[in-house]
Amino acid sequence: MIKGIIEFIQLYKYIIVPFLVWFGIQSFKLIYDLVVTKKFNFKRILQAGGMPSSHSAVVISLTTMIAKAEGITSPLFGISLIFSFIVMYDAAGIRRAAGKQAKLLNKIIETPGLTNLEVQERLVEVLGHTPVQVFVGALIGLIVGLII
């Protein structure tokens, strides 16, 4: 039974390990949020943003495992590395900017007399990551990828 599980994990490690990295980081964020706010917010497990970046950890863990298995000169490693850079750039750049815009729009909508808009729900403000959050996520991904 144990041998079968180990073989299964080894066979599908390029899917299982990144998923477990994501789940672990998102669970950490959920627990951290619970400790800080004293409120259980299950939505936190699926939300983007916060420390550390699970996006960065996932792509770097996968890239590191590919580097170990295929070498850094393989086309697969090159594709994975470029993909990782795009994901991390998006997390720290584009999605972070969208979060700032959402915060400003929420403030505008909530200003009395400024708008007649009736809003059903606030825009999500925590979408992206700071460069430090991306770096810490990438570091976690690198460590996990090296260990596996």
Weakest mean pLDDT among 20-24, 50-54, 66-70, 117-121: 117-121
CA distances from 118 to 101, 107, 109, 113, 121 (A): 19, 13, 8, 12, 9
Which pLDDT band, with edges at 50, 70 and 90, does 139 fall under?
very high
Average pLDDT over residues 24-43: 86
Predicted confidence (pLDDT) per residue in 114-124, tens digit: 556 666 666 66
C-alpha closest to that of 20 among 104, 106, 127, 141: 141
CA distances from 119 to 76, 100, 101, 105, 107 (A): 46, 18, 16, 11, 12
Q: What single-letter amino acid sits at 111?
A: T
| Alpha helix ranges (H) inside the chain | 2-11, 13-37, 54-70, 75-89, 95-110, 131-147
Predicted confidence (pLDDT) per residue in 18-32, tens digit: 999 999 999 998 888
Q: 82 pLDDT exceeds 70?
A: yes
Say which DSSP state 44 is in: G
Q: 77 pLDDT exceeds 70?
A: yes
pTM (2 d.p.): 0.77
Cβ-based neighbours of 13, under 8 Å, separated by 6 or more: 65, 148
Token pair belonging to 7: 């073989």
pLDDT, residue 60, reads 98
pLDDT, residue 91, reads 82
pLDDT, residue 42, reads 75
Counting every residue, how long is the chain?
148
